[in-house]
Structure 1
Amino acid sequence: MLWIFAAIIILALFSIITYNRLIAKRNAVANAWAGIDTQLQRRYDLIPNLVETVKGYMEHEKTVLENVTKARTAFMNAGNVKEQAEAENMMAGALKTLFAVSENYPDLKASQNFMMLQEELAGTENKISYSRQRYNNSVMDYNTALQVFPNNIFANMFNFKPADSFAVESEEARKAVRVQF
């Protein structure tokens, strides 16, 4: 009878430890996403300044500026990780195009405001890249914890769901931007 009681206690302790470990990993994923979200928000806060700086120089490339604005709007309206990742991919492509087109405007490239914004965006892009990697590592760690035995039993029992990675979805987003005139 004592060994049954001991087995129940051990099983209860194991359940509590496993549950707490899964909660900690899920919270690490949420924290890592918050890091991405902060950097993306910083980038999207810089965009209106960049657009205003560039507007006067790029009269003929209105579609480039419109794409940047559309991507910013898509990010602001995104409701989940997948939608934010899609908006992020759209913005990355729009910014690549914007900076590629800016090469054709020597006055713009020499503008102190443009150079400063470009530098701030480059630093933010590096932080976004780091935050993405951290988030994806947290997602991998969390999802692995959900799948290994015996955690998978407890994960199903407590209704833990896998998290989505933040990845480039399309082949188009992976390609370098080509601008031809």
Structure 2
Amino acid sequence: MTLPVLSWAALGWALAAILLFWGIGAYNRLMRLRNAIGEAYVALDQHMGERAQVCTQLLERLRPLLPSEQATFDSLDSAQAEAQAAAQAARARPHAGEPVAHLAVAGAVQQAALTRLMSLLEHQHELRAEAGLDALVDELKLIERQRAFARQVFNQAVTQYNAAAQQFPTRVLAGLYGFAEARTL
């Protein structure tokens, strides 16, 4: 028994409509997940900016008090400038792999320099009390905890996006429309 030509055409149109609606839904899901990466990056970027401000204030106060530690201060200044440049590049496309990879490296260098500074301050109790640095150190520690949480949220958004983009058959659509793999920090 054969179906009339009209039934085959209707079946073809129905199949095309199903594929079209699936494609639109998959595209919109990938866009929503990619936008979530951008939203998560905004919060992370805010905390990175706050950290940079507090570090600058801390360095301004410490430079005249500890002239023998200029190398440590210069190291943090340099790392901070590199991290801010990397953050600026990642701000435009937080879902792109290359700028986020550069930010991850710059952030690790900045964190190492900041760890050296905090280690130096741990041994300078009198200096911290005299110069009123305790409030800045406490603020920096709070910002670091907030930044770590924001980084976790960013990484979670990236993981969800990458998982969705790698599922078949969405993977085919992702490749066609340029949904490249995002990178975690």
Q: By how many angstroms is 1:40 displaced?
A: 0.4
Q: By how many angstroms is 1:34 displaced?
A: 1.6
Whether 1:62 and 2:81 are equivalent positions in the alignment is no
Distance in 1 of aligned mates of 2:119 and 2:12:
71
Q: By how many angstroms is 1:108 displaced?
A: 1.8
Show structure 1 runs of 4+ deviating over 6 A: none
Distance in 1 of aligned mates of 2:66 and 2:25:
59
Matches within 5 A, 1:21-170: 21-78=29-86, 79=89, 80-111=99-130, 113-166=132-185
Distance in 1 of aligned mates of 2:122 and 2:84:
28
SS of structure 2 residue aligned to 1:122: helix
Letter in 1 for 2:157: S
Q: How many residues align?
A: 166
Structure 2: which 5+ residue stretches go unaligned?
1-8, 90-98
Q: Greater CA deviation, 16-25 or 153-162?
A: 153-162
Structure having the larger proportion of residues in helix:
2
Structure 1: which 5+ residue stretches go unaligned?
167-181
Distance in 2 of aligned mates of 1:162 and 1:53:
43
Q: By how many angstroms is 1:104 displaced?
A: 2.9
> Could you report, residue by residue, the CA deviation over 1:67-88 in whole angstroms, capped at 9, with x for unpaired residues?
1111111122222222222221
Aligned 8 A contact 1:74 1:87 in 2: yes
Give me the CA root mean square deviation: 1.3
Q: By how many angstroms is 1:57 displaced?
A: 2.5
Aligned 8 A contact 2:61 2:131 in 1: no
SS of structure 2 residue aligned to 1:160: coil
Q: By how many angstroms is 1:97 displaced?
A: 0.8
Distance in 1 of aligned mates of 2:143 and 2:83:
16
Aligned 8 A contact 1:39 1:127 in 2: yes
SS of structure 1 residue aligned to 2:181: coil
> Which has the larger Rg?
2
Distance in 2 of aligned mates of 1:38 and 1:106:
30
TM-score norm. by structure 1 comes to 0.86
Distance in 2 of aligned mates of 1:23 and 1:108:
51
> Could you report, residue by residue, the CA deviation over 1:62-120 in whole angstroms, capped at 9, with x for unpaired residues?
11111111111112222222222222111111111111112332322214631111111
Identity of aligned residues (%): 27
